[in-house]
Structure 1
Amino acid sequence: MEPNHRAPQGNPSADRRPPTEDRRPPTADRRPPTEDEPEGVAWKGALAVALVVGGLVVWRACSTPEGAAGSAAAPSSATPAAGDPNDPAATAGPDAAAPPAPPRCAAAGAAPFVIGDAPPAPKAAEPEQGAGGGAADSAEDLAPFAVEVGRGTTFAGGFAVGAQREAEGGTVAMVATLSADGAQGKLVRLARSRGDMDPPIVAGAGGAVLAAMLEPNAGGRAIKIARIEGEHVTWGAELAEGRDESLALDVAASGERAVIVWDDVTRDGKRSRIMLASADVGSLRSVTSPRPVSQPSTDAEVPRLIARPGGYWLAYIARAEEPAGRAAAKEGDDANEDTAAAGETIAHQWLEVVPLDETGALTATPRAVTPKDGHVLAYDLALGQDDSLILAFRDDDTPSGSIGGRISAVLVRLGGAAEPRVLVGGDREQDAPPEAALGLGAGVPALLRGAAGQGASSAGGREGAAVWLSIANASGPTQLAALTAKGEIEGGLRPEPALGRGEPIAASAEALLVAHPAGKAMKLELLRCAPSAPPR
């Protein structure tokens, strides 16, 4: 036998021992044949090497439990084991993308209530996503002359929302009501709406709903108040609103009286002020004469009203009166069309708050609760813990509708107000929440009380009723977050698949009422939401 002609020792498939560290690799003998060696010797050496390698492969496959059992469900070698340093998740840094958060909202079960002409059913190839349309909601869902809805409310019978639509050769104002579970809905016609007006403002009053709407008349505009019980509508006395360009109006009921607030210009037309009147809830009669409630030296507009036990909270946007010299210069520039400045004036604006009793009388002096050097563009309010008031507002020194600014919240009590807290947008401070770095687009905040959270007792053992914060934006899905009764974000601010581009307009302790545009129609749907994802 030739010295280099080495035959394999035994069958490798029978000997299932792993190769030892001192064993030379099978390829060590794969050298080219020399002139003294026959050509077959090299061929036989290569064959021996192939047998050894094949035996090792078979040995490894058979020595594992999965291989021995012949299981076809063995884990893929591409999936790293837990703790494997090759696992990207184990070596990813803090900036790695986190997995998507579980949804916090789901459809309540009842089919959406549709106001207007029902849209065509989606094609089979393009199914809707999410309970309320989700990703199917888009800009194409909006159509000219579509149904408009305003802010919603809750009452003993469920939910109510003011709406208007094209019908009867013009625009008709109405109130839509839904049962608490969303299974039953109906429309109650109020009146023809003349002029370019907003949908009626609604407020709960026990088992009834109060609605306030504007109507043009010879002296400017009038405020009409109606009481809706079932399908029966009772109209009350009208209030003169004047010729102010603003359509801001609000109504609320506490006890036996209802309070109506609006803004109107002074007789000299130099500034706007907040006006107030009250009426008997049962008959909408016994109406008091309108009276100003804002400070005489303050230019005030956009009033909002919310009932609390024993009275109300009244809030509005205020700005300082312009100095006489600056006002005169402005009038001179406006008189000359060639030199008049174009664009929107960015003025210092802040929020003022004052408590009222059940009759609408002031129980304190209005006070500023946001910095007077700020630029409040829009705001909303909700009742907080122990009858406190939570205000969410957008502060922005850029023109309306632009991208920028920040959304903050401030907690107001009868004894005073806390410092505003930045919730979203702006320059992120060291102790600011992660949501503070998110973009706002042109969205404005909306507050709806109803979710179980930290504060008063609840069936889940937690205390209080949290407040939902929603930010609707035409360029993307609506963002949703739960606020604690102290005005702090709980569980994060993010879009919800079931919400899509819908806009929450009312909330109860069990559900959110969401409006989804659908062509010329409007879908009203209930979502069951929790501040954090439900456990699985």
Structure 2
Amino acid sequence: MPPLSKIPPKSTRKEPTEPRDTGSGLAGAALAAFVIAVVIVGVRYWGSGGEGEADRPVVDAGEDAEAAEDKPPPPRCTAISTEPFVVGEAQAAKPKALDAGEEEEFDELAPFAVELGRGTTFEGGFAVGALRDGEGGSVAMVTTIGFDGRGGKLVRLGRSRGDFDAPTVSGYKGSVLAAMLEPNAGGRSIRLARVSGEKVTWGPELGEGRDESLAVDLAASGSSAVVVWDDVTRDGKQTMVMLAPFDPETMKAKGEPRPVSPPKQDAETPRLAARPGGLWLAYAVVGTARKPKDEDTGLVGEAIAPRWVEVLPLDEHGAAVSLPRAVTPKDGHALAFDVEPSEDGGMVVTYRDDDTPSGSSGGRVMSVWVRLSGVGEAKLLTEEPGSAGVPDLMPGWLSVSSLSGATRIGTMTPRGELVGELRPEPLLGNGEVLAATQAALLVARPAGKAMKLSVMQCVPDDPSGVSDGGVEAGTKPL
């Protein structure tokens, strides 16, 4: 026996074999391969129910499901406006050739000279208050645009003296009610006006005090309207909500301004919502601040005061018809809130609750349904660290901005329930939603030193999967 190192590998070793008939063996193998191929083709053909399916690649069902999950949902919004309505002086396009379908580029981070306030709707379309540079300072205006995105107008109210916000607007039949702030000898005042087409009818001028807040709101119900704002008491130790009724037809005062919030509370940032036979008043109450203390280190943190939202039903003339009721937890921190009438005469309140130190963002966005017969349980709409600012509540829609720049919208039921999820819209991008109807959204985008207003038509998500119960279990009487 030769040594093991001399034995060739098995694959190369030649061993003596008997002569065999290789021709008949090859024929048999070919026949067997043919039969197997026919069987495979037949199984694929009859199993698929169609011709040519045997040539299709076999794809794992799991891969199809994963691809479907990654596919973004179809867009809900399409453009109505053929051309946006520009408020201010639009920045000229960059001098470069544009490819087919490419839009003009503007420096959206440039300090722009136009400021827009909250929007509203009236019989003629959308309206929004605006401030723009001019006449050696700022000019206050009311901007209107049709529901179809056409017929945009700018109606001048007057020169705005001082560092104030854009006028607050509210719809009244075919007109727009406006409230603008002006300085006076006692601090500042609120001037009321009604804009009908391009005609401005001025109303009463109300003293507003010297407090730091610029919050003001107004709304009409029936043949009356009221304006509300926050002010400080004479001793300067407490904030309160003030109210003044006026006639929206004659634009004359219908009574003296009076406080409407409880006298022993710090109340601020009032908001109004119309209801049949009257109005809803909502405002924030600030509790006593307590400094949190770490038990391990003994270090005292930033003092954070509890803040909650109270509501008060009013009649058409602004008189209270019930006692105020807290609709958010009194130990919570409702930093920002918005209101919107519901279809049954109630009101939906959305708020951002966050107990983190000042200057941070995020928290939980909640909603609560309020009626004269009771207050529903609060519902969580979204919770994330990337949201910022006020959750904007509009008829049928909720808009939430984020630190990433994309604005997300979601369909809301009249009871304050979110249908589906908040998600961005390709057409909306980082635009700001100023006002809405059930099917259309007024959107603003900066363009250099101007603002572009456009209207989008949006299809709400299907609300069939949302509960439709009446007054929920645990509802508290108002």
Q: TM-score band (shorter)?
A: 0.7 to 0.9
The answer for the alignment partner of 1:88 in structure 2 is 63
What secondary structure, in the 3-state scheme, does the structure 2 residue paired with 1:259 have?
Answer: strand
Match among 264, 268, 273 for residue 231 of structure 2? 264
The answer for the alignment partner of 1:103 in structure 2 is 75
Matches within 5 A, 1:463-482: 467-482=396-411
Distance of 2:139 and 2:301 partners within structure 1: 35
Does residue 1:385 correspond to 2:373, yes or no? Answer: no
| Runs of at least 5 residues in structure 1 that lack an aligned partner in the other structure | 22-55, 66-70, 327-340, 426-437, 450-466
What secondary structure, in the 3-state scheme, does the structure 1 residue paired with 2:348 have?
Answer: strand
Distance of 2:85 and 2:53 partners within structure 1: 48
- How many Å apart are 1:311 and its aligned residue? 0.7
CA deviation vs aligned residue, 1:410-462 (integer Å, no higher than 9, x gap): 1100122112111111xxxxxxxxxxxx444324300001xxxxxxxxxxxxx
CA 1:63–1:3 in 2, change beyond 3 Å: closer, same or farther?
farther
Distance of 1:414 and 1:283 partners within structure 2: 31
Does residue 1:445 correspond to 2:395, yes or no? Answer: no
What secondary structure, in the 3-state scheme, does the structure 2 residue paired with 1:238 have?
Answer: strand
Q: Judge conservation of contact 2:81–2:454 (CA < 8 Å) in 1.
A: no
- How many Å apart are 1:476 and its aligned residue? 2.4
Q: Judge conservation of contact 2:85–2:453 (CA < 8 Å) in 1.
A: yes
Match among 19, 22, 38 for residue 3 of structure 1? 19
| Runs of at least 5 residues in structure 2 that lack an aligned partner in the other structure | 1-17, 46-50, 292-298, 464-478
Match among 435, 452, 455 for residue 526 of structure 1? 455
The answer for the alignment partner of 1:253 in structure 2 is 220
- What code does the residue aligned with 1:99 have? K
The answer for the alignment partner of 1:396 in structure 2 is 354
- What code does the residue aligned with 2:436 have? A
Q: Judge conservation of contact 1:158–1:180 (CA < 8 Å) in 2.
A: yes
The answer for the alignment partner of 2:8 in structure 1 is none
The answer for the alignment partner of 1:363 in structure 2 is 321
Q: Judge conservation of contact 1:199–1:213 (CA < 8 Å) in 2.
A: yes
- How many Å apart are 1:287 and its aligned residue? 4.0
Q: Judge conservation of contact 2:76–2:460 (CA < 8 Å) in 1.
A: yes
Match among 190, 193, 205 for residue 157 of structure 2? 190
The answer for the alignment partner of 1:124 in structure 2 is 98
- How many Å apart are 1:320 and its aligned residue? 3.0
CA 1:20–1:264 in 2, change beyond 3 Å: closer, same or farther?
same
- How many Å apart are 1:259 and its aligned residue? 0.4
Match among 289, 297, 308 for residue 350 of structure 1? 308
Q: Judge conservation of contact 2:288–2:306 (CA < 8 Å) in 1.
A: no
The answer for the alignment partner of 2:141 in structure 1 is 174
Distance of 1:226 and 1:187 partners within structure 2: 15
TM-score by length of 1: 0.73
Q: Judge conservation of contact 2:242–2:259 (CA < 8 Å) in 1.
A: yes
- What code does the residue aligned with 2:276 have? P
Matches within 5 A, 1:479-494: 479-494=408-423
Q: Judge conservation of contact 2:137–2:159 (CA < 8 Å) in 1.
A: yes
What secondary structure, in the 3-state scheme, does the structure 1 residue paired with 2:332 have?
Answer: coil
CA 1:367–1:146 in 2, change beyond 3 Å: closer, same or farther?
same
Root-mean-square deviation over aligned CA pairs: 3.4
- What code does the residue aligned with 1:475 have? S
Matches within 5 A, 1:195-344: 195-320=162-287
**Range moving further from structure 2, 274-283 or 397-406:** 397-406
Distance of 1:313 and 1:165 partners within structure 2: 32
Q: Judge conservation of contact 2:369–2:415 (CA < 8 Å) in 1.
A: yes
- What code does the residue aligned with 2:406 have? P
Match among 408, 412, 429 for residue 370 of structure 2? 412
Distance of 1:523 and 1:16 partners within structure 2: 76
What secondary structure, in the 3-state scheme, does the structure 2 residue paired with 1:492 have?
Answer: strand
The answer for the alignment partner of 1:46 in structure 2 is none
- How many Å apart are 1:283 and its aligned residue? 2.0
Q: Judge conservation of contact 2:441–2:455 (CA < 8 Å) in 1.
A: yes
Distance of 1:387 and 1:63 partners within structure 2: 65
- How many Å apart are 1:498 and its aligned residue? 1.1
CA deviation vs aligned residue, 1:78-127 (integer Å, no higher than 9, x gap): x61xxx46x4245x69xx95431111111124321111122344762596
Q: Judge conservation of contact 1:237–1:287 (CA < 8 Å) in 2.
A: no
- What code does the residue aligned with 2:182 have? E
Matches within 5 A, 1:41-60: none
Larger gyration radius, structure 1 or structure 2: 1
- How many Å apart are 1:18 and its aligned residue? 3.2
CA 1:322–1:88 in 2, change beyond 3 Å: closer, same or farther?
closer
Match among 106, 112, 128 for residue 84 of structure 2? 112
Distance of 1:191 and 1:159 partners within structure 2: 21
- How many Å apart are 1:236 and its aligned residue? 1.2
CA 1:474–1:163 in 2, change beyond 3 Å: closer, same or farther?
farther
- What code does the residue aligned with 2:444 have? A
Matched length: 433
Q: Judge conservation of contact 1:110–1:526 (CA < 8 Å) in 2.
A: no
- What code does the residue aligned with 1:489 have? L
Q: Judge conservation of contact 1:402–1:441 (CA < 8 Å) in 2.
A: no
- What code does the residue aligned with 2:63 have? P
What secondary structure, in the 3-state scheme, does the structure 1 residue paired with 2:139 have?
Answer: strand
What secondary structure, in the 3-state scheme, does the structure 1 residue paired with 2:148 have?
Answer: coil
CA 1:305–1:63 in 2, change beyond 3 Å: closer, same or farther?
closer
CA deviation vs aligned residue, 1:243-274 (integer Å, no higher than 9, x gap): 01100000111122110000000011111000
- How many Å apart are 1:180 and its aligned residue? 2.0
What secondary structure, in the 3-state scheme, does the structure 2 residue paired with 1:491 have?
Answer: strand
